[in-house]
Structure 1
Amino acid sequence: MTQEYQKYYVPEQSPWPIVGAVGMFLIAFGAGSFVKELSSGGGYGGYLLLAGMSVIIFMLVGWFNNVINESMSGLYSPQMDRSFRQGMSWFIFSEVMFFGAFFGALFYARMFSVPWLGGADNNVMTNAVLWPDFQAIWPLVKTPGGGETTAMGWQGLPLYNTLILLTSSVTIHFAHTGLEQNKRKQLIGFLGVTILLGCIFLFLQAEEYIHAYTEMDLRLDSGIYGNTFFLLTGFHGLHVTLGTLILFIVFLRVLKGHFQPDNHFAFQAASWYWHFVDVVWLCLFVFVYIF
């Protein structure tokens, strides 16, 4: 029996992985230095953080450009498409584990550390030695140094952002439906609205952070509550930024006439990622803001 093999395109060596690694190193080192400098003042952590973000954006633009050119040149086969799907699935799974670690830290602090400091489960000596006047309540608005902060409520900006992201999931779905039905106006309109909603979300989150720092005295160094609040919401904001950038690139491709009803995995991958960040935000809204 004759077996027919499909071609499988193997690209040439790419510089983009090492460029991305350099960008991630600058982001990690710069972010750590920047957080440390918040209390001490001075330093170059903020500049390193911005440099790392710039390198990542440069990497994304270059890498996306290469992949788009390869795709439009007809170099990809159905087997290559399946490889892309597997790669995107594993990438989203790794992101689930990433946020799972931060949610795990939040739940550990709330369910174990805080009660133990309060003397629960026969930890009376822990309470007496480490923090005699500690009150085991969450959110923990009093820091070990004696400072006090204010918990961020779920009303107002957090609720507005939740409604915005839920709406964006609907609009990206209708954009995908328009693409599958070859309705280009519907595709362009709903995709543009999705990008706009993503930008509004980021703007409102920046407003929330400014309000937290200037009026609520809620900061990254405000004990375990401030740590978990800003790490979870901040990393989610970073993912929304990346998702909005990806959707914008897809939008530019749509305007150029790219994607067909039966061949549009790049759009589908962007849609998967956007739905993922929406689900993560719902979990954040429930466990960080409400409970």
Structure 2
Amino acid sequence: MTTHTSPHAQHYFVPQPSPYPFILSGGMFLLALGFILQMNAFALGSWIMMAGTAVILFVVYNWFGKVIGENEGGAYSQWEDKSFRYGMIWFIASEVAFFAAFFGTLFYVRNISVPALAGMDPAFSLWKEFTATWPSAGPKGSSFTPMGAWGIPALNTALLLSSGATLTWAHWGLLKNKRSQLNLGLLLTIILGVTFLGFQAWEYHHAYTELGLTLGSGVYGATFFMLTGFHGFHVTLGAIMLMVVYGRCLKGHFTAQRHFAFEGVAWYWHFVDVVWLGLFVLVYWL
């Protein structure tokens, strides 16, 4: 007689209670407390911030290591795989909303606020000489030279687009069980990402020292550094995740059938690429 196993017989993996969430909360509290003290010129602020950062890094390393160990030990099934994918999709959706808010701010400033200030009745305006031109430091901002599109920004665009291609090539290698292609593609992606960050740091130095473009350069400086700075932060996180995945690949982790961690990081990296294209067009070019 043939027996059929109900799909509900395979239970979702439930890990044992862990102290890591509690410890992580403590680390985040120390980081926030140290930042507040530092902003108010307390000498202990920087030390408390470093302590909080150390606690967070400790938890991330050990907690993620435990999850990787559970995965490699066969604790996860298709149920968990689907859950992880849903979680990553919602996480990227929240990131889309995050950047949409900043792009919306840029649109509002350029197309509504600046023209409205310039179009005020001179009899009631405090800034009678203000014109609706962009880039603008606002009515009272310091003068600066805007960042051009066809120098470092164009080069960084080529670097990020190339990194997306090398990551896709690495994924093909994983699907075809070509480990050398997988490892080489990941390594090239990491190198391109780190090179991007190096050029962005040089660009910021150039902006501050030669162009007079700073966070204090009115509305253009604020939106420029907020958008590009947060994007650079996301590239940094993506590069770190790629390094972790690369280390796992060198150890023989992932198969053609089961490799969500690789795919999740790849989704994130391609999202970062798309955001940069928007930045290049709307912040640097137009």
- TM-score over 0.5 for the alignment? yes
Q: Structure 2 CA distance, aligned partners of 1:150 and 1:63? A: 46
Q: Structure 1 CA distance, aligned partners of 2:277 and 2:283? A: 10
Q: Does 1:68 align with 2:68?
A: yes
Report the CA distance between 1:52 and its aligned residue. Answer: 5.8
Q: Structure 2 CA distance, aligned partners of 1:103 and 1:48? A: 34
Go from structure 1 to structure 2 and tell me whether the alpha carbon gap of 1:244 and 1:50 turns closer, same or farther (over 3 Å shift): farther
Q: Is the 8 A contact 1:182 1:260 kept in 2?
A: yes
Report the CA distance between 1:178 and its aligned residue. Answer: 0.2
> What pairs with 1:201-240 in structure 2 (closer than 5 Å)?
201-240=196-235
Q: Structure 1 CA distance, aligned partners of 2:224 and 2:47? A: 24
Name the count of aligned residue pairs.
282
Question: Over aligned residue pairs, what C-alpha RMSD do you find?
Answer: 2.7
Report the CA distance between 1:224 and its aligned residue. Answer: 0.7
Higher mean C-alpha displacement, 72-81 vs 5-14: 5-14
> What pairs with 1:1-291 in structure 2 (closer than 5 Å)?
3-5=6-8, 6-21=10-25, 54-119=54-119, 123-124=120-121, 128-140=124-136, 142-291=137-286
Go from structure 1 to structure 2 and tell me whether the alpha carbon gap of 1:195 and 1:228 turns closer, same or farther (over 3 Å shift): same
Rg larger in structure: 2
Go from structure 1 to structure 2 and tell me whether the alpha carbon gap of 1:28 and 1:215 turns closer, same or farther (over 3 Å shift): farther
Q: Structure 1 CA distance, aligned partners of 2:128 and 2:49? A: 39
Deviations 1:23-79 (A, max 9, x none): 656666777888x79xxx997877776666555444432222111011011111111
Q: Percent of aligned pairs with the same residue?
A: 52
Aligned partner of residue 206 in structure 1, secondary structure: helix
Q: Structure 1 CA distance, aligned partners of 2:151 and 2:47? A: 32
Go from structure 1 to structure 2 and tell me whether the alpha carbon gap of 1:175 and 1:99 turns closer, same or farther (over 3 Å shift): same
Q: Structure 2 CA distance, aligned partners of 1:2 and 1:75? A: 19
Q: Is the 8 A contact 1:117 1:130 kept in 2?
A: no
Q: Structure 2 CA distance, aligned partners of 1:73 and 1:21? A: 28
Go from structure 1 to structure 2 and tell me whether the alpha carbon gap of 1:112 and 1:275 turns closer, same or farther (over 3 Å shift): same
TM-score normalised to structure 2 length = 0.89
TM-score normalised to structure 1 length = 0.87
Deviations 1:5-26 (A, max 9, x none): 2221112334444555556566
